Structure 1
Amino acid sequence: MKQSGLFVVFLLLCFDRRSSGSHPKPSCRYPPSQWCRSLEIAIECRVQKQCMEVNATGPNKSVPPVSVTLYYESLCPACRVFISQQLFPTWTILHDIMTVTLVPYGNAKELPSANSPFTCQHGEPECRGNMIEACIIHLTGHSAFQIIHCMESAADVLNAVQPCLQLYAPSVSWSTVDSCVKGGLGNQLMRDNAAMTRALNPAHTHVPWVTFNGEYTEENEDKAMSSLFHLVCQLYKGVKPPACTGAPVRLNRGFC
């Protein structure tokens, strides 16, 4: 089950009000952004009624979401701005009608050396950042985008890894990610990303490089850089959600 960004805010307000009264704040292992991810989590966090209500008013499941794929580099300034100012805010509000795939590789190159199999545009730290993010995507699933946004919007991407991981995926230890980076899995994930990047048609000439439903056009790229939110609303083929139309959203606070 999925929830809107507004619903997360609503839940936070709701339980904040509960904590000030006679009802204790619910204890669960998951952050609010994941409360409606599954029925099991909703039950554990005591929000199943609210999640079911939101799910019932969600978008038509028969209409495919807009597929957004970002080819990027972990230390590319333009990529970091796009992730923090366009992609993540848009996904936060419109994740019911869009999916995001992250491919950290960009302008990197594969080398024949076994000790240093990749070279990156912004040096060795970027190669490490790319591989860390590839491992995080592989290991943390639903939380990956939140972790990577946390890293990319921080002052220092690499120093932010462990606190961002602890914040959004506390069940995944840093040692697990570090083992992926230092072992064969990390190299394989980067080779996979290299293959995906080489397969782009037309071939990428810069990053960030964004495709929509598997296709790239300069027109869509220009729109994405200026207002990704409006572009996703435009490309979605189903009934537009209230966020796209500007219609007011009424939240039932009766169960607080």
Structure 2
Amino acid sequence: MKLTELLAVFLLFFTDQSSEGKSHPKPSCPYPPSQWCRSLEIALECKVQKQCMELTATRPDPAVPPVAVSLYYESLCPGCRAFITQQLFPTWTMLQDIMTVNLIPYGNAKEIPSANSPFTCQHGDPECRGNMIEACIIHSAGHAAFQVINCMESAANVLNAAQPCLQLYTPAVSWFSIDSCVKGDLGYKLMHNNAIMTRALNPAHNHVPWVTFNGEYTDENQDKAMSSLFHLVCQLYKGGKPPACTGAQVKLDRSLC
């Protein structure tokens, strides 16, 4: 959980405790917690300027590039689903300030010269559809795409979960737009681009999930990623390690209400 989210939970908890048994006045801050530290003006209006200063003090050095993690995967591959939900998403949740994630849904699919079905997939047509749905979500949902895809891959049925997961995490993106992408030229274009990126891997992939770090693949890093991606990202980051990596306690002066 990011520090802004922790801050929101912290403040909301003590607000509820202090106002127990009393009426709940309309909050004076019109912004969601994720926006509280976007600018000094918002921080002042929401009365969290002190907390935002502490948050800024613990952020990584912006001059140090984040660890770029790219995952080449298939939507219905059991190993890929486990890696996304048990390794990649939890690590990103804790370390997203020092890492970026690039998802390339294609894996062991094949691009074939056919107007009706230009792709074949290891787990059949449902996987081809799942790959394309996720490619369209990545294209349309921006920063929230990873949350949507993790939601899908965590579900018992990946395809059936697509629409409710999209509505949950990106209500501004309509399912109609994703469905149109899947059924139209854009979806095929996105999958073709994923095919090009996957075929360009050096060394060539021979299984999925296939993980590269800063554009490079090694068997050693692949093994480490499968067992403990969190520790590997901390190890690869060149800047000062965040508290989550070091386990160091961070003592912040929190005001209480």
| Letter paired with 1:162 | Q
Question: 1:39, 1:48 within 8 Å by CA — same for their partners in 2?
Answer: no
Matched, 1:209 2:210: yes
Question: 1:18, 1:25 within 8 Å by CA — same for their partners in 2?
Answer: no
Q: 1:104 & 1:37 partners in 2: Cα distance?
A: 34
Which of the residues 6, 9, 15 maps onto 2:6?
9
Q: 1:167 & 1:67 partners in 2: Cα distance?
A: 27
Q: 2:155 & 2:30 partners in 1: Cα distance?
A: 27
% of aligned pairs identical? 66
> May I ask how many residue pairs the two structures share in their alignment?
251
The aligned residue for residue 227 of structure 2 is: 226
Question: C-alpha displacement at 1:14, in angstroms?
Answer: 1.6
| Letter paired with 2:111 | E
| Letter paired with 1:133 | E
Which structure is larger by alpha-carbon Rg, 1 or 2?
Answer: 2
CA separation of 1:194 and 1:60: change in aligned 2, threshold 3 A: same
Question: 1:63, 1:237 within 8 Å by CA — same for their partners in 2?
Answer: yes
TM-score normalised by the chain length of structure 2: 0.89
Q: 2:3 & 2:176 partners in 1: Cα distance?
A: 34
- The alignment partner of 2:182 has SS state of helix
Question: C-alpha displacement at 1:251, in angstroms?
Answer: 4.1
CA separation of 1:108 and 1:63: change in aligned 2, threshold 3 A: same
The aligned residue for residue 90 of structure 1 is: 91
Q: 1:211 & 1:170 partners in 2: Cα distance?
A: 31
The aligned residue for residue 250 of structure 2 is: 249
Question: 1:83, 1:152 within 8 Å by CA — same for their partners in 2?
Answer: yes
TM-score normalised by the chain length of structure 1: 0.89
- The alignment partner of 2:160 has SS state of coil
The aligned residue for residue 148 of structure 1 is: 149
The aligned residue for residue 82 of structure 2 is: 81
- The alignment partner of 2:230 has SS state of helix
The aligned residue for residue 60 of structure 2 is: 59
Q: Which runs of 5+ in 2 are unaligned?
A: none
Q: 1:86 & 1:37 partners in 2: Cα distance?
A: 29
The aligned residue for residue 70 of structure 1 is: 71
CA separation of 1:47 and 1:180: change in aligned 2, threshold 3 A: farther
- The alignment partner of 1:216 has SS state of coil
Q: 1:36 & 1:168 partners in 2: Cα distance?
A: 19
| Letter paired with 1:123 | G
Q: 1:72 & 1:97 partners in 2: Cα distance?
A: 22
